[in-house]
Structure formats: C-alpha cells, structure tokens
A and B are shown apart, each in its own frame.
Chain A
Amino acid sequence: MTSVLSRLRARFLAGFAVVGFAFHGVSAWAENTPAADPPQPEPVTAPVTADVSSTALKWGADGTSNVPYTFHDPSDENRMSGFEYDIMEEIGRRLGRDAQFVQNDWDGLIPGLERNFYLMVICGIEMTPEHIEAVDFSQPYYMTSERIVVRRDQAGLDSYERLGGHTIGTVKDTLAERMMGERHDITVRGYDEESNMFEDLRNKRLDAILIDGPIALYYGEADPAFRIVGPPVGHVSYGIAFPKGGNIELRKQVDAALKAMITDGTLHRILARWNLWTPEMAAWTGDYTQPGIAPTEWERYIAATAPTKGWKARFDRYVSFLPLIGKGAVMTLAVSACAMVLAVALGLILALTRRYGPAWAAALATLYIEVIRGTPLLIQVLFIFYGLPGIGIRLSPFVAGVISLGLNYAAYEAENYRAGLQSVARGQMEAATALNMTHSQALRYVVVPQAFRVVVPVMTNDFISLLKDSSLVSIITLTELSQTYVRLSSTYFDYFGTGMMVGGAYLLLGLPFVRLAKMAERRLAVSERRGG
C-alpha cells in the first residue's frame, strides 16, 4: 500500500517536507470546517436524505500488498479486511449507506476519484501540503509515526540517531525517506513494495527499515524474524481523500461520522482490535482510556499468516490458494480469448485492406498498424480505461481490457495475415476469378482459408503471448492471474511457492492451445500428407 501512496506522493512532491507538516494538514482541515456548523444530531443511525442513502457509498483503495489498511483476508481470500475497511464499514453504517469497496491500482486511485469511479479514497494517504493541493481531505482518521524495524538478533540500531553509517530501507518517497535523505550518514534504499523490502532485511541486504507504524507492526513485528525497536520517529496523519472541490456535502457527513466515532469510542475500539491504537491517537483525541479490547484482528492475522510448519500445513495452504488462482485463471482466459477474437477479426480486415483495398484505405490501415506497434501496450490500456472517459466513453475494466489487448494484437495479427496472404499462389486467385467468383468470394473461399493454414502456428504463439500480456490489464483493476500472484505472495511472503503455482497455471492455460493448434495444423495440412 505504501508503495502505492509513495507514487502519489512522488506525483505531488514539492521536493521539501518536514516532520510535522502533517499537523499543517490537520489545521488546514480545521480551517475548512465551517465554524458556524449548525448543531446537527449525531448521525449515528443516519438522518440522511433518502435519495442519497439509496446509493452505495463507493470508496476506492488498492487492496493489494496493503496490510493492515485494506486487504484480502488471508484466512478467506474472498473477503476484504483491514482497519480502513472497518472504518469505512462503520462510516457507511452511520450514513445509512452501503459501503462498497472498489479495487483500483495505486496509480489509478486519484484519476479514478476524478472520474467518479468512487466517491472517496482511503488508502493511508498522508495529509501533506502537497497532497492537500491535489485532493480535499476529511479530518484525520489515524495518526502514527515512523518506526525502526530490525532483525530480531540485531542490536544497536534502536534510535533514529544510531541509524547513521548503515543501509536503511524504506518505501520510496515516504516521509521516512525524505527525513533520511537529509542525513548524509545514512545509505537510503527506497522500495516500491514493502514485502520486497522486508525480504531484503531478512536476507541482510538491509541493516534496518524505517517505515509507517502500521506497516512496521504488520510486516515487521508480526514476523518472528523481525522486531520494532527504539522510540517513534516523526508524525504521520492519514485522511480520506475527496475530489478537489467536489462532494462537499458528503465530506461534511463523513467528517461528522468520524467525529462521532471518536467521541463515542468506536474508532478507538476498531484500532484496538487491530492493535493500532497509538499514543499519537490518544494525544490527539484526548482519549487515554484502556477500553479492554483484545487485539483480535491482529491475532487472527498473525495466526493466519504464521509460517507453516511441515509439508502438510504448507500443502494445505497451497490447496486453499487453488480457488483464488482458478478464479484468476478464468479471468485471464476470458480476457485473452475475447481479445484474441477481436484481434483475429480486426487483423484480418486490416490485412485484406492493406493487400486488396483502395489506396487510401490501405494507407489508413498501415497508419493504424504503425501507431499501435509503435506505442507501448501499457499506455494503450491506461489510455482506453482512463483517457476515453474524457471524451465520454466509459468502459468497464473487462471491456477496456479486452478492447485494448484486442486492438493491440490486431496490428500484429494483420502483419501475420498479410504475410499469409502473400504466400498463397497467384494462380489460386486467377483460378477463382476464371470460375467467375467475385473478388470477395475468391478471398473468402479460396485465398483466406489457405493463408490461414500458413499463419496458424504464428497465431498460436501470439495467443500464448497474449495470455501473458493480459497481465497488464491488472492495472485497470482486473483481478487475473498475475494480480492474484502479487496478492497471495505479498500476503504470505511466499514468492516461491505461489510463483510456481501461478506459473503452472499460465502453462496449463497455454498448453491446450498449443495442442489445439497442432491438431488444426494437422487437419489443415492433410491435403499435403494424405495418401502421400
């Protein structure tokens, strides 16, 4: 998750940042809150207008590699979990609306907010001045600090000052990175994914990690190999992001709900269950009570992700992955198959146009092919999903994925087919013409079927590439195989086992098509073999 938010930070980073700027954020929020807010009944059971309550309260987050914010419950991967998830459920309850989580990749979170894919984003977004320029924040819902994580057997790195002279990991563009960047005695290593970072700490490529409290707790302290040491460093506030200047009424309702959750202790209880109640929260809310809530969610997470002992337990865990990998495989296959159908149809039209069409149409087809082949597929996917709504074309992630892959592969297929058409002997077209077939009849019944035979092997390879390239559509929120791999492996720190499983799934998906193509080739080549 921080990887995610790090990139948002990078986007708006002004190049300076100081511990405590988060406070500035808080005061900015306070200033934005109308002082003369008329006293309203606490919206505990939602005195909200009917037409508003009739719609779902859609909120966006990146549920991948995002423990303990919003993530897939390791004991039941089909369920979402996390302290931010619980907070949103509670807010939904108080507003009388059905809180609905919308998955989006980090890079798409704020663009998605601007495109109204959801009403708000809650994803550990720090309330820094740079962020406040980009989005409107609710009041803070969480405050914490940066913490130092070391290997359990390591001594001597138990304060921010003593990190000097060492190699320290953190997530890119975080507050921690900016802080350490000002110290020339620290070698800072910035990461995209927190799980990679903790792997490097385990493998002694890092001496220590400085990172947001919740991550330090769930990725560090939760692992028997690591521990949190030393006093907290700095100060971090998280806020819920709304589109700049939009949803003002809703933001006020959310603020009121948060305020009420603090007053009646609900927020305290949620955070306590997650073992995330911090001294910063106590100081901010003035709530120094000990509600006697057991950290049940924390314990459940520890139990669910505990390193498995023995082959049996490990095997059972892998078996439990199967439904999820199966679902991912079905999505991968569905996207790829639909995209291939589109690619074959459009590719054939393009190839025929280039070879037999009028000059202007052939030029257009050539232009299309050159443009598509000359730009990255990733850009095409993002453009179709996020760019087209700008001119009023909104596509679901699945349709956008199919169309972008299909349009892309059509360009490559077109070139294959053109080569195939060229390989058909000229006499075939003449024979068909002499039999008084029209041009299109000759193509359809004589030339194209023969060209098809030539391109079948190439098409098979293309389809297998397409299966693999379909992993790119995971960035537009489709949970297919590779997305499933990222999620499972980052939850369990098991890149090897899950990697083998997902790799196997890709192979299994591809195999039938290799065989199918071999059969088709045999059948089509029968004319050259039968009887000899």
Chain B
Amino acid sequence: MAGPDTSGPAFCVETVLCAESISKSFDSNKVLNGVSLTVERGDLISIIGPSGCGKSTFLRCLNFLEIPDEGTVTIADDSIRRSGGPWKASDEALAHRLRAHVGMVFQSFNLFPHRTVLDNVMLAPRVVKKVSPAVAEAEARELLAKVGLEAACLRYPATLSGGQQQRAAIARALAMRPDVMLYDEPTSALDPRVAEEVLEVMRALDREGMTQIVVTHDMSFARAASDRIVFMDGGEIIEIGDPDEMYDNPRDPRTRRFLLGASA
C-alpha cells in the first residue's frame, strides 16, 4: 500500500494508522531505523521480535510517549511529522489531538492505585472530555461488564489479580473511545491461565471491529488471532505477513531463526 497522502481528506478511509519512516535514537544508540507500517480499520496486528529489537519503542512512538526523531505518524485525520529538532509546545498540542484516537495498555497495567476500578475507568472521560459523572459512570460500568469486572467496580486495583487488573486497564483505555488500541506486552506479567482472560477480551474486541496493535511474546496468540504479523529485528521491520504463512514458511532467515527459538 502507498504511504499517506499528506494532502489530507483523500487519505484512504480504510487506513486508520500510518507510520512512515520512523527513526529514533537514545543517545547514540539507534533503536528505530526508518520503520513504516500501515494499519487498516479492524486489523489485529501482532508485532514480534527478539528483546531489544525496538518493537516496544515503535509502539510508544505511535502515541508519542516516545518522541520519534524523524518520520510521520498519521492516525485517523491527525498527523505529526518529525524531522529532528526540539519537541515544542505546539508539537505537544498536536500530539494531544492525535492521542485522542489511541488507547494504550501496558505490561505493568499502570492502574491508578489510589482510585477504585470504576474511578480508574471514569477519570479520563471526566477530566479530559468533561463527560458528566452520571454518563461517565454508566459507560464505565458497561465497559467493566464487557471485560467481566462488573463485580469489582468499587475495589482498589491492588486487591485484584493481574488478569483482572489488565482487563480493567483495557476498559479504562476503551472509555476514551479510541480508534486504535495499542498493547505493550499485555500478558507478559501474567501466568498463562490468567493471560487467557485478557486475550479473550482482545479477541472479543477484534470481533467487534476494533483496530489493535499488540507487541507480544505470545506466539500462539499472535498466530491464532492476528490478521497480520510484523517481525522486527535491529530496529527495522524484517517481514510483514499472514500469520500461518509466516510461521510455516518464513521468508527471511532471521524470522526463521526467531520463530524456531521461540517455539523451542
């Protein structure tokens, strides 16, 4: 597929996220080297690769938790182009608009420990979107029911299991009605049985048509649930493809080596 048409509205309606030539260095260490990815609405994309390949950094560049040095990120109809230089207040304002389209789930959940589960989900709609308390609560309860946590509304995060916490974190991100959900190793901190609860929620969202990008080490989930798999190594995308195709017949030797190691 072609890169984004920066002239605006002509941008393909099916394409919800487009990253183009994203580069990022930490000090002199080049972590991302011209990474490009296009995601269509309703896609579930898994990004896999060895530790330190830059997959998490790439994900965090998509909502500007990390500021890319160079490259363009376009999500829905908002776009930010970086070509070096300092991150200015006007850039932060753009990033703020862009983040409105993106929800994010972290490996360590990052729920707000001083608030109940319900408050965690309600907070951002209340504060950022100025939604009335009654409406925010109704929506929050609905989302919590959807992730199977209606009974835990008034509990504090620390009293929940890891799986419950991660499901609450997903509900919290969904409350902002994002176009794209980003998951940064969402099940790495969970044991497999608990992880399954979380993966089931993600599969359900996929069936509803949510666009999701998942950085994961869970190869069976990646293969079974993804529409496409992205393999990254050394700060670059090596291969993008259909899951079964890639697993059965990886084109690049690095992909083959990684998949062999991962399944061993």
Contacts and interface: CB of A to CB of B under 8 A. Distances in A.
A434 interface: yes
Interface in B101-116: 102-104, 106, 108, 110-115
Contacts of A450: 112-114
Contact of B128 (A435, A449, A453, A527): A435
A526 B155 CA distance: 10
B127 A433 contact: no
Interface string A362-404: 0000000000000000000000000000000000000000000
Nearest to A428: B110
A156 interface: no
Interface in A405-445: 425, 427-428, 430-438, 441, 445
Contacts of B247: none
Contacts of B48: none
A453 B96 CA distance: 29
Contacts of A432: 112, 124
B11 interface: no
B106 A427 contact: yes
Q: How large is the interface on A (under 10, 10 to 19, 20 to 34, 35 or more residues)?
A: 20 to 34
A214 to B, nearest CB: 64
Interface in A479-532: 524, 526-528, 530-532
B124 A453 contact: no
Interface in B82-136: 96, 99-100, 102-104, 106, 108, 110-115, 123-124, 127-128
Given A430-B65, A430-B106, A437-B128, A527 B99 contact: no
A431 B114 contact: no
A450 B113 CA distance: 8
A459 interface: no
A157 interface: no
B159 interface: yes
A527 B120 CA distance: 13
Given A450-B114, A530-B156, A531-B155, A436 B108 contact: no
A527 B156 contact: yes
A505 B242 CA distance: 78
A446 interface: yes
A449 B114 contact: yes
Contact of B113 (A434, A527, A531): A527
Contacts of B108: 427
Contacts of B114: 449-450, 453, 524, 527
A436 B159 contact: no
A382 B100 CA distance: 54
Nearest to B104: A434
A432 B100 CA distance: 12
The CB with the most chain B CB atoms within 10 A, among A425, A434, A527, A531, is that of A434
B71 interface: no
B124 A435 contact: yes
Contacts of A526: 156
A432 B124 CA distance: 8
Contact of B127 (A425, A441, A531): A441
Contact of B159 (A433, A434, A445, A531): A531
A30 B191 CA distance: 100
Contacts of A435: 103, 123-124, 128, 172-173, 176
Contact of A437 (B63, B127, B157, B159): B127
Contact of B100 (A436, A441, A445): A436
Contacts of B80: none
B12 interface: no
Nearest to B92: A439
Nearest to B128: A436
Nearest to B103: A434
A424 to B, nearest CB: 10
Interface string B221-247: 000000000000000000000000000
B110 A430 contact: yes
A427 B107 CA distance: 10
Nearest to B116: A527
By CB atoms of chain A within 10 A, which of B63, B111, B112 has the most?
B112
Contact of B155 (A524, A528, A530): A530
A425 B157 CA distance: 15
Contact of B112 (A431, A441, A528): A431
Given A425-B110, A449-B114, A434 B127 contact: no
A436 B157 contact: no
B113 A445 contact: no
B204 interface: no
B62 to A, nearest CB: 11
Contacts of A428: 110, 112
Interface in B151-204: 155-159, 169, 172-173, 176
A524 B155 CA distance: 14
Nearest to B60: A430
Nearest to B124: A435
Contacts of B176: 435-436
Contacts of B100: 436
Interface string B39-80: 000000000000000000000000101000000000000000
Contacts of B110: 425, 427-428, 430-431
Given A441-B128, A449-B114, A528-B113, A434 B123 contact: no
A530 B128 CA distance: 29
Contacts of B96: 436, 438
Contacts of A453: 114
B155 A437 contact: no
Contacts of A524: 114
Given A441-B128, A445-B123, A433 B112 contact: no
Most buried by B among A431, A527, A530: A431
Contacts of B159: 527, 530-532
A190 B96 CA distance: 72
Output the residue of A428, A436, A453, A527 with the most chain B CB within 10 A: A436
10 contacts: A427-B108, A427-B110, A431-B111, A431-B169, A434-B65, A436-B100, A438-B96, A524-B114, A531-B155, A531-B159
Report the 7 A-B pairs with minimum CB-CB distance, sorted nearest first: A527-B156, A531-B159, A431-B110, A435-B124, A434-B104, A427-B110, A436-B99
Given A435-B173, A438-B96, 11 more contacts: A430-B110, A431-B104, A434-B63, A434-B65, A434-B106, A435-B124, A437-B128, A450-B114, A528-B113, A531-B155, A532-B159
